[in-house]
């Protein structure tokens, strides 16, 4: 898989377009870096078992 | 009338007692707080808006009630400040943003502000914060940076940095903040105040600007345990205006302060909670543990994953909350916040749902832990306050991003809504650092008993440390 910065940025721009967002060229590196950080957190979370589902009780 | 002690030089509880007895007028206490803002806030920049007319009018009503012999609340005449995301009737709620200035003024006080007022307290100002509560540093592009009163070269922490700094500087004895991943506890730790994030749903968020709704909490900051308890007792309780508000019975915490911590099963949290604490944090924690006679340590499985899940959930919820506004007014956001909110709005749903499943698993882990433990001890922050503008910090040989990592010890408990109270100690270099107490849901009283024991031991930063 191509994980070059250009590819990552183009994926970010496509995703942004899907939700109606415009990202300025000045913001693009920061948005791309931040999304990579969040995807890294998601990797740490992993894939927990699906039960009991997306509910929350304190 | 006698001379007026301002802010944290005298505790809120003591001020209220003097107001109730007629030794001091509420107008004097409120005027003194307004003067303290004018005289002392310039160098720390904790306050963004003041309410002189409203606060003096409220103070006059308190004084009239005293003169009429009416029964007054436990915080009669006590001046306090609120993070500028709380509605204060007649003023625009800013949430650290210029976008909010286009909205109409609030028509009513936020529930927490109203409850403080019903207890006799008087709101005098709103305080600086990270834009929309996104951050741990209170470096705000619109309102400037709030500096740490203990060392002006350092950050106050965030996002309730203005509230913590105002209390630490002795401008007022009490403040309200909000805490999504640690935004009450982190600045309280770095500035050297007490701070409480109550159980999720325990204190109403109605009338406050939410950030990540399944994680948002509201709570008090104070210079003493008794003041923190008085403020918590004032604001806690069911509120139908907040859809997550709990009907679980409220236990007042002021009455438990005289009890010692004997009989409570206290333990240190190991693993993740040791790994991301530097030597200052570890040493302060060890001092607190020795004082309490605690030598048992427990592992809290999944805590590193819990931090990651909290970050994913926060980002996704905040990104969705701001999506429409990002589509139309992106340029009006703080440049440091905008990219993070956009990234959150782009997160795949699969990541968010996996984080929620991890949350459920972590809830099971922590609930099991509290079957044989009443209070857990950890450091509150990985280290003392970083410098203003500092981007990374060294913790146990690892370079961590300041903006993402100051909440590594607070995030896990927020994720599962547990009550957590930070107690101010001093690190080896003289800067403050907090020790965090954590309990099972709705067991705030246990936290207050341990906090009071630590305060009585003389370990904590004393009242009025910075009031000169």
Distance from CA of A8 to the nearest CA of B (A): 12
Residue A31 and residue A39: Cα distance in Å, rounded?
12
Q: pTM (2 decimals)?
A: 0.96
Residue B322 and residue B452: Cα distance in Å, rounded?
40
SS3 of residue B400 by DSSP: strand
* Cis preceding-peptide flag for A52 (omega within 30 of 0): yes
Of A31, A37, A56, the CB nearest to B359: A56
Out of B3-17, B53-67, B224-238, B380-394, least confident range = B3-17
Per-residue pLDDT, averaged over B32-49, amounts to 97
Q: What is the pLDDT of residue B463?
A: 85
Q: Which residues of A touch B335 (CB under 8 A)?
A: 27
Structure tokens that stand for B359 in this block? 């949350």
Distance from CA of B188 to the nearest CA of A (A): 23
The pair phi, psi for residue B151, each rounded to 5°, is -165, 105
Of A34, A35, A58, the CB nearest to B199: A58
Interface test with A, best of B360, B365, B407 (most A CBs within 10 A): B360
Active site residue B25: no
pLDDT at B152 over 90: yes
Q: A1 CB near a chain B CB, below 8 Å?
A: no
Among residues B25, B83, B208, B414, which one is catalytic? B83
Q: A34 CB near a chain B CB, below 8 Å?
A: yes
Q: How confident is the model at residue B8 (pLDDT cuts 50, 70, 90)?
A: very low
Whether B339 and A46 lie within 8 Å, measured CB to CB: no
Q: A17 CB near a chain B CB, below 8 Å?
A: no
Across chain B, mean pLDDT equals 96
Backbone region of residue B458 per phi and psi (left: phi > 0; alpha: psi in -120 to 50; beta: other values): left
Q: A25 CB near a chain B CB, below 8 Å?
A: no
Sign of CA dihedral B234, B235, B240, B244: negative
Closest by alpha carbon to B165, among B120, B107, B223? Answer: B223
Whether B246 and A47 lie within 8 Å, measured CB to CB: no
Of B308, B345, B417, the CB nearest to A44: B308
Q: What is the pLDDT of residue A6?
A: 79
Residue A25 and residue A18: Cα distance in Å, rounded?
18
The predicted-structure confidence for B113-147, as pLDDT tens digits, reads as follows: 999 999 999 999 999 999 999 999 999 999 999 99
Whether B351 and A39 lie within 8 Å, measured CB to CB: yes
Distance from CA of B381 to the nearest CA of A (A): 20
Question: Which residues 6+ apart lie within 8 Å of B364 measured at CB?
Answer: none
| Gyration radius from chain B CA atoms | 20
Per-residue pLDDT, averaged over B279-293, amounts to 97
Structure tokens that stand for B299 in this block? 């592992």
Whether A45 and B404 lie within 8 Å, measured CB to CB: no
Q: A37 CB near a chain B CB, below 8 Å?
A: yes
Residue in B closest to A14 by C-alpha: B346
Distance from CA of A21 to the nearest CA of B (A): 5
Q: What is the pLDDT of residue B2?
A: 39
Per-residue pLDDT, averaged over B400-423, amounts to 97
Q: B214 CB near a chain A CB, below 8 Å?
A: yes
Q: What percent of chain B has pLDDT over 70?
A: 98
Q: Report the DSSP beta bridge partners of residue B154.
A: B387
Strand order in the sheet with B375-379: B47-50, B122-127, B79-83, B174-179, B217-222, B194-197, B420-426, B432-438, B375-379, B266-269, B297-298
CB-count exposure of residue B228 (10 Å: 0-12, 13-18, 19+): buried
Q: What is the pLDDT of residue B468?
A: 57
The predicted-structure confidence for B180-197, as pLDDT tens digits, reads as follows: 999 999 999 999 999 999
Among residues B97, B178, B183, B189, which one is catalytic? B183
Question: Which residues 6+ apart lie within 8 Å of B212 measured at CB?
Answer: B180, B313, B314, B315, B317, B318, B321
- Strands B151-155 and B147-148 turn out to be antiparallel
Active site residue B183: yes
Q: How confident is the model at residue A3 (pLDDT cuts 50, 70, 90)?
A: low
Closest by alpha carbon to B214, among B334, B59, B353, B92? Answer: B353
The predicted-structure confidence for B413-466, as pLDDT tens digits, reads as follows: 999 999 999 999 999 889 999 999 999 999 999 999 999 999 999 999 988 787
Closest by alpha carbon to B79, among B36, B41, B46, B111? Answer: B36
Structure tokens that stand for B173 in this block? 């004895």
The predicted-structure confidence for B45-100, as pLDDT tens digits, reads as follows: 999 999 999 999 999 999 999 999 999 999 999 999 999 999 999 999 999 999 99
Q: What is the pLDDT of residue B243?
A: 97
Q: A54 CB near a chain B CB, below 8 Å?
A: yes
How many helices (H) and strands (E) chain B has is answered by 15, 17
Residue in A closest to B343 by C-alpha: A35
The predicted-structure confidence for B158-188, as pLDDT tens digits, reads as follows: 999 999 999 999 999 999 999 999 999 999 9
> What is residue B208's DSSP assignment?
B
Q: Which residues of A touch B356 (CB under 8 A)?
A: 53-56
| Gyration radius from chain A CA atoms | 15
Active site residue B83: yes
Whether B345 and A21 lie within 8 Å, measured CB to CB: yes
The neighbour count for residue B107, using CB atoms within 10 Å, is 9
Q: A15 CB near a chain B CB, below 8 Å?
A: yes
- Listed in sequence order, the DSSP H helices in B246-335 are 272-275, 279-292, 303-329
């Amino acid at each position: 898989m191509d994980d070059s910065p250009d590819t990552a940025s183009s994926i970010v721009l496509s995703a942004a377009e899907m939700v109606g967002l415009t990202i300025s060229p000045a913001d693009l590196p920061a948005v791309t870096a931040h999304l990579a950080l969040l995807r890294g957190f998601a990797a740490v979370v992993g894939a927990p078992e699906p039960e009991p589902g997306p509910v929350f009780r304190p | 009338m006698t001379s007026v002690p301002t802010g944290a030089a005298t505790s809120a509880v003591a001020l209220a007692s003097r107001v109730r007895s007629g030794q001091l007028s509420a107008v004097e206490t409120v005027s003194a707080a307004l003067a303290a803002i004018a005289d002392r806030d310039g160098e720390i920049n904790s306050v963004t808006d003041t309410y002189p007319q409203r606060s003096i009018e409220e103070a006059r009503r308190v004084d009239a009630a005293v003169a009429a012999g009416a029964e007054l609340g436990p915080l009669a005449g006590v001046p306090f400040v609120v993070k500028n995301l709380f509605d204060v009737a007649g003023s625009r709620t800013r949430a650290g943003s210029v976008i909010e200035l286009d909205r109409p003024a609030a028509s009513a006080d936020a529930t927490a502000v109203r409850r403080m007022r019903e207890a006799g307290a008087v709101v005098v100002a709103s305080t600086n914060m990270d834009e929309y509560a996104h951050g741990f540093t209170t470096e705000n592009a619109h309102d400037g940076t709030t500096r740490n009163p203990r060392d002006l070269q350092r950050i106050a922490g965030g996002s309730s940095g203005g509230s913590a700094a105002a209390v630490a500087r002795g401008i007022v004895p009490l403040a309200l903040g909000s805490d999504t991943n640690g935004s009450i506890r982190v600045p309280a730790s770095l500035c050297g105040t007490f701070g409480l994030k109550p159980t999720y749903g325990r204190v109403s968020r109605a009338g406050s600007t939410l950030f990540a709704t399944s994680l948002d909490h509201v709570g008090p900051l104070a210079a003493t345990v008794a003041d923190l308890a008085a403020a918590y007792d004032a604001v806690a309780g069911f509120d139908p205006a907040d859809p997550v508000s709990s009907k679980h019975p409220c236990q007042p915490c002021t009455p438990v302060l005289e009890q010692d911590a004997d009989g409570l099963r206290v333990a240190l949290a190991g693993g993740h909670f040791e790994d991301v604490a530097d030597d200052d944090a570890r040493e302060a924690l060890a001092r607190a543990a020795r004082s309490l006679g605690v030598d048992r340590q427990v592992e809290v499985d999944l805590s590193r994953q819990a931090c990651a899940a909290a970050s994913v959930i926060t980002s996704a919820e905040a990104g969705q909350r701001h999506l429409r506004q990002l589509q139309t007014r992106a340029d009006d956001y703080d440049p440091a916040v905008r990219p993070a909110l956009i990234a959150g709005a782009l997160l795949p749903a699969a990541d968010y749902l996996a984080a929620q499943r991890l949350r459920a698993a972590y809830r099971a882990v922590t609930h099991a832990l509290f079957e044989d433990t009443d209070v857990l001890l950890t450091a509150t922050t990985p280290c003392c306050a970083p410098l203003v503008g500092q981007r990374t910090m060294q913790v146990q040989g690892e370079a961590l991003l300041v903006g993402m990592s100051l909440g590594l010890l607070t995030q896990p408990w927020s994720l599962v809504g547990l009550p957590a109270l930070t107690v101010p100690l001093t690190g080896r270099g003289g800067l403050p650092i907090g020790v965090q107490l954590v309990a099972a849901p709705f067991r705030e009283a246990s936290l207050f008993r341990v906090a009071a024991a630590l305060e009585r031991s003389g370990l904590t930063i004393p009242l009025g440390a910075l009031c000169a």
